[in-house]
């Protein structure tokens, strides 16, 4: 670590040092408020309604928890910067944010593939579903999911903390992003190799699990003779498929090589998958899922 930057960095994505942007602050505040509120409602509905205590909705509650973490890790600091004009972020704060961000990204990537596998078993192997997705296995899957995300991020942050920064103290992003840190660090081929190795390890493997699961799901659904049964079977996974498509459609930008020309696109796509997508996920699941809509209506009527 270079002694010249031990005091911290400057985040210069949306605000130059000393300039306040209250309108932009309001935009991100609304996104943050709606995102947290929507995911808290989904969590509350699943916890309160006993008929939703099934593997599919247990995984959904974990996804809502991940989305709340996404919003809370990145947006409060950004909103403070936009309101105060103070772009500074300490070294410890920056790397703490980087740790929790990588932790949540890794956890979500694995969780989405687990949810895809759950839909595969439910549709393609319905008779074996109660045995495969029994409580013990669900707990094991979730523990492996969260622990692997935690350990992966811990390893990553240990390597990242050895970086030396000799180009600049300005991070051209709205949070402490690994690619943005690499751009201001001294050339470190080992870290860049580890960065892309981690991205390839988590991204493509998890994506492949989800892709293969849905290929089998679609094949099974197409073999169902009844149109109504086909529609009913496909409706159980449309919400997750929509979330999966949006997530991989936006997060894939971080798989691109580090370059100066990618700064703006990185920030735009990061806003989409760290703020907009977590805000939209509760709407996707509530609007496209009859069980969640009915449970929400019952919960509102009971109050």
Check if the beta carbon of residue 104 is closer than 8 Å to that of residue 73.
yes
Residues of the chain with confidence (pLDDT) below 70: 1-7, 15-18, 167, 187-188, 199, 251-265, 288, 303
Closest CA to 117 of 135, 105, 132: 132
Within 10 A of 68 (CB to CB), how many other CB atoms are there?
A: 20
For the chain, the residue count is 303
What is the model's pLDDT at position 1? 45
Check if the beta carbon of residue 18 is closer than 8 Å to that of residue 85.
yes
Return the bridge partners of 89, or none: 9
Degrees to nearest 5, angle at CA 244 with 238 and 247: 140
Where do we find the tokens 């493509």? 204
Distance CA 180, CA 171 (A): 6
What is the model's pLDDT at position 259? 53
Give the list of residues 6+ apart from residue 69 with CB closer than 8 angstroms, or none: 100, 104
Helices 227-235, 189-222: axis angle to 10 degrees equals 160
What is the model's pLDDT at position 2? 45
Determine if the pTM surpasses 0.85.
yes
Within 10 A of 17 (CB to CB), how many other CB atoms are there?
A: 13
Q: State how far the alpha carbon of 72 is from the alpha carbons of 29, 79, 174, 190, 205, in Å.
A: 11, 11, 13, 31, 27
H-helix segments, 85-222:
91-124, 129-132, 135-160, 178-184, 189-222
Check if the beta carbon of residue 171 is closer than 8 Å to that of residue 12.
yes
Degrees to nearest 5, angle at CA 40 with 35 and 43: 130
Order across the sheet with 170-171: list the strands. Answer: 88-89, 9-11, 170-171
């Amino acid at each position: 670590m270079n002694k010249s930057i031990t005091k911290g960095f400057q985040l210069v994505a949306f605000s130059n040092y000393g300039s306040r942007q209250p309108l932009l602050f309001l935009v991100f505040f609304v996104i943050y408020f709606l995102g947290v509120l929507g995911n808290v409602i989904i969590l509350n509905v699943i916890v309160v309604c006993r008929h939703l205590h099934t593997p599919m909705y247990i995984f959904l509650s974990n996804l809502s928890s991940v989305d709340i973490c996404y919003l809370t890790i990145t947006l409060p600091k950004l909103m403070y910067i936009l309101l105060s004009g103070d772009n500074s972020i300490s070294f410890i704060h920056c790397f703490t944010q980087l740790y929790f961000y990588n932790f949540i990204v890794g956890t979500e990537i694995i969780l989405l593939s687990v949810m895809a596998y759950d839909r595969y078993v439910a549709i393609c192997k319905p008779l074996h579903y109660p045995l495969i997705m029994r409580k013990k296995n669900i707990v094991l899957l979730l523990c492996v999911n969260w622990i692997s995300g935690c350990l992966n991020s811990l390893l990553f942050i240990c390597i990242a903390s050895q970086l030396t920064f000799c180009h600049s103290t300005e991070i051209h992003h709205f949070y402490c992003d690994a690619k943005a840190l690499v751009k201001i660090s001294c050339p470190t081929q080992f870290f860049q190799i580890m960065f892309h190795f981690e991205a390839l390890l988590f991204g493509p493997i998890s994506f492949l699990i989800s892709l293969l699961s849905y290929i089998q799901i679609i094949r099974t659904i197409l073999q169902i003779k009844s149109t109504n049964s086909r529609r009913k079977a496909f409706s159980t996974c449309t919400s997750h498929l929509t979330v999966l498509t949006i997530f991989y459609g936006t997060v894939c930008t971080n798989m691109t090589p580090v370059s100066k020309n990618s700064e703006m696109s990185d920030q735009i796509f990061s806003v989409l998958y760290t703020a907009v997508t977590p805000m939209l996920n509760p709407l996707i699941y509530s609007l496209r899922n009859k069980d969640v809509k009915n449970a929400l209506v019952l919960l509102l009527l009971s109050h």
